[in-house]
Structure 1
Amino acid sequence: MKQLNVIGLDKASAERLSAKLNSLLANYQTLYMNVRGFHWNIRGESFFELHDKFEETYNDLLTKIDEIAERVQTLGQTPLHTYSAYLELSEIKEVANLTDGRQCVTELLNGYQVLIRIQRELLEAAADAGDEGTEALMSDYISEQEKTAWMLTAYLG
């Protein structure tokens, strides 16, 4: 017989989803720190435009980081909270000391591509587990980030 957690989901399924969410969290944290660096270090003719855009982006990423960690908690698990764990799990790699706007935007786009792929995997796993809360979160993130990826691609020409 299946054991259910406090929100009525199978505990084993919730554990598997939480592991995937923690992997997503690690990727978000790494991208967040990369974008903070882009914001601080950007140089050149696109400084004003990109400095503001990167601040907007890292604030959005920070909101999503909190939502993902809270979703892990809602599923009855513990969110990762150390940089060593993030770096171990993240597919997005640290980027240091970039000052060129095009390179920064390219790295941001690459990060969003990773997030979108992982979120699609989570969307499917959440559907299989009957976890509408995680499904809704992932669906919202995917819709928003697909548009952002299109815009970043347009910016790069």
Structure 2
Amino acid sequence: MNTLALNIIGIDVEKASQLGQGLNTLLANFQLYYQNLRGLHWNIQGKNFFELHAKFEELYTGANDRVDEIAERILTLGVQPLHTFSDYLEASEIEQGKNITTDVASVELVVNNLSTLLKIEREVIEQASDAGDEGTVALLSELISEQEKTIWMLAAWLK
């Protein structure tokens, strides 16, 4: 008889490990996204300073909460979350946004970062669905919906 080894929340251990790896990739990218937002918040200049300074603070506050949720989901799956800057840099597709001070370049960076996060989230949500991991699916569904709306709003701002 072939039986699967299940973790404490009833998900196949091997699939949970793969999901943990995918979520760690997402976590690393979220950490770069978060840090980019902090830098944009601190360094934005120009006529849209007040509007974007506040928007970037709103976004990085939300990203900080999401980082925690992703790390806790990784732990729930029985995997250790990445937690060093060197690990984040190695695992991230998102580039560091350095010395960006203008409104358009700042918003374009955020849109590009969010697009990268969406790509990763869609890959991981498919894995989670195949594994019967409704907790990860729910987390990522909420993220995807939120980020799609943010991209739409920022794209409208860029026009």
TM-score clears 0.5 = yes
Partner of 2:56: 54
Partner of 1:92: 94
After superposition, residues 38-77 of structure 1 pair within 5 angstroms as: 38-77=40-79
Q: Percent identity?
A: 54
User: Which amino acid letter does the alignment assign opposite residue 91 of structure 2?
Assistant: L
Structure 1 stretches lacking a partner, 5+ long: none
List 4+ stretches of structure 1 deviating above 6 A.
Answer: none
Partner of 1:108: 110
With structure 1 as the length reference, what TM-score do the two structures score? 0.99
Partner of 1:22: 24
Q: Note the alpha carbon deviations across 1:17-65, whole angstroms, 9 max, x for none.
A: 0000000000000010011000000000000000000000000000000
Structure 2 stretches lacking a partner, 5+ long: none
Partner of 2:130: 128
> What is the CA RMSD across the aligned residues, in angstroms?
0.5
Cα distance in 1 between the residues matched to 2:117 and 2:33: 9
**By how many angstroms is 1:123 displaced?**
1.0
With structure 2 as the length reference, what TM-score do the two structures score? 0.98
Aligned to 1:94, the other structure's residue is in SS state coil
In the alignment, structure 1 residue 4 sits paired with structure 2 residue 11: no
Cα distance in 1 between the residues matched to 2:42 and 2:99: 9
**By how many angstroms is 1:95 displaced?**
1.0
Cα distance in 1 between the residues matched to 2:121 and 2:33: 15
